[in-house]
Each structure stands twice: as structure tokens, then as C-alpha cells.
Amino acid sequence: MLLTQMSEYVANERTHALSDKTMHHAKRAVIDWFAAMYPGSIQNPTPMLRRALKDELGRGRAVVFPDGEMATPRTAAFINGTASHTAEFDDIHRDSAVHPGCATVAAALVSAQHAGVDGDTFLRGVIAGYEVSTRIGLAMGREHYALWHATATISTFGAAAASALILGLTAEQTAHAIATSATMAAGLQQAFRSDAMSKPIHAGHAAEAGITSALVAREGVTGALDVLDGPVGMGVAMSGNAHWEKATAGLGSDYIIERMTFKNHGCCGHTFAAIDGVMVLTAKHGLTADKIKSIHVGGYKPTFDICNRPDPQTPVDRRFSVQYVVAHGVVYGGARLAAFTPERMADPVLRSLASRVTVSLDPELDALFPAQRAARVTVETVDGETFEYLQPTRKGDPDMPLTDEELSEKYRELAGSVLGEEPAEVLLAALWGLEKRKNMDLPAAVRGEERRISA
């Protein structure tokens, strides 16, 4: 049975000999999670959640960021998971269209703090969560992503698997935890095709549902073990064309966590190839906004369906607007935190150029999705010249990865903006040495704390 295989893998991963390479990539994933989480922790809706759930704070052993309030693991997972998906800097598994880290790492961290485990166990939980969630995402396929937000639905499994390993569940209990998490998985794409704050809450819910499922499974609560591949299970209900053999292919030997995409821009990943492509063209030909008559982006279906937003009005909307972020790439280079400040969004040069950007569906590029995320960018100048460039992948994808130093610099920029330079650096050193830590209490991870992290 599918869930039996996956749960046995999770239980075995607690003691399985892992390569230095796999552990290194797990640390990269955790560092990227902290980088994405910190700016998200001070952006709405995360502060709103802390106010809404204030009666649930002040107890428990799990840390809520950025100020270090204590909470029960469920509440901390919900708030921190939401924070890590808010600023749109969280990682991506390209081939399944899942952001696995936001829910998996959130649930793993609070589980580790709750259970008092060491860094090695924490990292093993993260690895198990990534492997389970991304493979279920691969099995559910493109059909699932047509309507559902895979980060909301599929990441629930990563949170459940990570929590189960860290909390010490047996293989049988783990199967029931994953099964229960499946029936709690939810999240509609309409939540981010409209201007709303619901999308990051998807990740928080996935983290909370995952750890809740593990906690109750430890007490004997059972789930339907055929909930994925049964006659009216998740595969039929939410995909219709699931290929469950993909969920176990290479499980325990071929580690998907070694092939993650770490974002180089703080917006929807479906816009990245277009941003990268237009930056190549403008640099090569010395183009500036005043020299450009028009920009056209040909992309795969989600680029067109989700990110064709010619008149975005809010920061949330602009993070999903090809027009805005491509123009920003020309005028300022890339799209990081400053791209969505009120001053930047009011820039008349940027707004004018964005109005000259159009998007269409490119069938050739769409046929490559999701395994390849490409964009065809065409720039027409005011002098009548036309330049075209095919951006075959995105900076940060497995075939064009961020180096360790580039990842560290991303972390410094994003986490440092909230923590401050010195505390952020101390935390970064601790994260690169996670496998040696005796516990997952990270006091310097809290904003304003100057205490040195102990080994």
C-alpha cells in the first residue's frame, strides 16, 4: 500500500545513513526558510494573525517569530508557516509546482522545539518532509495544479511527515498521520488569482494540519490508509490523473531536496524567467526604460493565467503581475524587498514602462511546464529595433542554482532587514552547523536579541 511504503521510509529516515551532500542541502533549505520567513513575519497578514490569536500565545515551548513569543506547536506552526510564504521568497520544487519548505520547515522546527530534539533529528525531519511532499506533488501532476494551490494541499504531507519523524512516531502511526493530513488538505487557486491575503495562510494551515495530524496519530487516532489512491481518494477527487508510482520512485535513495529552486526574486515564481530574460536583453543592448517602446513576454500557462495583471493596485497584486515585475527588472534590476514599497510602486517611470508590457501564452513553452520554466522576451525600441531572447530557465532553479554564498547573501539581506546585521550573522553561522546542535532553541533568531547562540 502506498502510504505504508511512505511511512516506512519516514520511520527509517530517523536512523538511515545520509550523505553529507543530502544534509548540506537540507541546511540550505532551512536557511532559505529563515530568509523568507523574517520579512514575511512583519508583513500582513502575519501580524494580524498574531493579534487574532493573542489568547493562544504566552504558553508552550515553540517560538513565534520575529519577537520570540512562545506558543503551542500548532499555533506557532500556523503563524510561522504563514510568515514564510508571505513575502514570496520561499523555495520551490519546480517539477511539482509545490513550495515545500514553508510548511515543512515550520512544522519541523516547532516539533523539534516541542520535543527537545537535536539538530540532526530536525534535519532528518526536514528531509523526510521534502521527500514525501514533493513526490506526492509529482504524482498528483499538472491536473491538480490547474485548480488547487499545491503548496496548500501537498505541503500538508511534508509537515505531517516531518513532525512524525521528529516526534518519534512509529511507521504505523506515521501512516495514520499522513492519512489524516490528507483529509485536512485544502487551498484554492482563486485565493491568489484575486487580490487577497489568503494565499500565505495556505502554508500556515498546511503546517498546522501536518503537526496536528502527527500529534493525534501519536495518541492513536487513525486515518484512512487508502486516502490517496482509493476509489474516491485524493488522486481522483483533486487530480483525476494521478500517477502514484511517482510517489515512491527513488524514495530513500534519490533525494529531491538536493534539487530545489531557491528564489532570486520576491514575487511569483511564474514571472522569474521573464524578469531574468528582460535583464539579459537590457544589459546586452544597453536598453533603458526611455529607449523601450514595448516589451512582450511569451510564457507557459500559469504565467499567462495567473500573472497577466496589467493594472495591479496593491503590493500583493504586483507580486503576481508580469507587467510590473518585468518593468522593475528593467528600471531597478530584479525584484527584491524594495520593489513593493509605496515609493517604488509610485515611480512614474516604472509605472509607464509597466503599461507597455504585454503577455501571451506560448504553446511551445507551455508544453515544457512544469519541468521547465521558460519565457520568450521581445523588446521593441523607440528607434524601431527588435530584440528577442529565450530565457530557458530561472536563476535559482536546479540547472542555474544559487551558490552557498549567494544563498547566504539572500539570507543576510532578508533576515538582516528584521533581525539586524549582527544577530542575523550569528544565526546564519548556527544554521550552517545545524547537524551539530544539541537542541533547536535559537535565541538569537528572535528580533532584538543579542545573546550568543550556544552550541
Residue ranges in 243-286 assigned as alpha helix (H): 245-248, 272-285
Strand partners of residue 248: none
Strands (E) located in 236-394: 292-299, 357-361, 375-381, 386-391
292-299 and 357-361 strand pairing = parallel
Predicted local confidence at residue 193, as pLDDT: 87
Would you call 148 helix, strand, or coil by DSSP? strand
C-alpha cell recorded at residue 266: 520576491
| Other C-beta atoms lying within 10 Å of the C-beta of residue 340 | 23
**In this structure, are residues 389 and 377 in contact, taking their beta carbons and an 8 Å threshold?**
yes
CA distance 291 to 277: 17
Q: What is the DSSP letter of 239?
A: T
In this prediction, residue 455 carries a pLDDT of: 29
Q: Which amino acid is at 306?
A: I
Give the model confidence (pLDDT) of 73-104 as tens digits. Answer: 999 999 999 999 999 999 999 999 999 999 99
Q: Which long-range contacts (CB under 8 A, 24 or more apart) does 185-188 make?
A: 185/152, 185/153, 185/154, 185/156, 185/157, 185/209, 185/234, 186/152, 186/153, 187/148, 187/149, 187/151, 187/152, 187/153, 188/147, 188/148, 188/149, 188/152
Q: Position 98: which residue type?
A: V
**Domains (range + CATH), the chain:** 2-259 (1.10.4100.10), 269-391 (3.30.1330.120)
Per-residue pLDDT of 368-427, as tens digits, reads: 999 899 999 999 999 999 999 999 999 999 999 999 999 999 999 999 999 999 999 999
- DSSP structural state of residue 55: G
CB 275 within 8 A of CB 34: no
Residue 392: cis peptide before it, omega within 30 degrees of 0: no
> For residue 229, what are the contacts with CB-CB under 8 A and spacing of at least 6?
2, 235, 242, 244
Specify the DSSP class assigned to residue 449: -
Could you read off the pLDDT tens digit of each residue along the chain, which spans 455 residues?
899 999 999 999 999 999 999 999 999 999 999 999 999 999 999 999 999 999 999 999 999 999 999 999 999 999 999 999 999 999 999 999 999 999 999 999 999 999 999 999 999 999 999 999 999 999 999 999 999 999 999 999 999 999 999 999 999 999 999 999 999 999 999 998 888 899 999 999 999 999 999 999 999 999 999 999 999 999 999 999 999 999 999 999 999 999 999 999 999 999 999 999 999 999 999 999 999 999 999 999 999 999 999 999 899 899 999 999 999 999 999 999 899 999 999 999 999 999 999 999 999 999 999 989 999 999 999 999 999 999 999 999 999 999 999 999 999 999 999 999 999 999 999 999 999 999 998 856 786 544 333 32
β-partners of residue 360 are 298
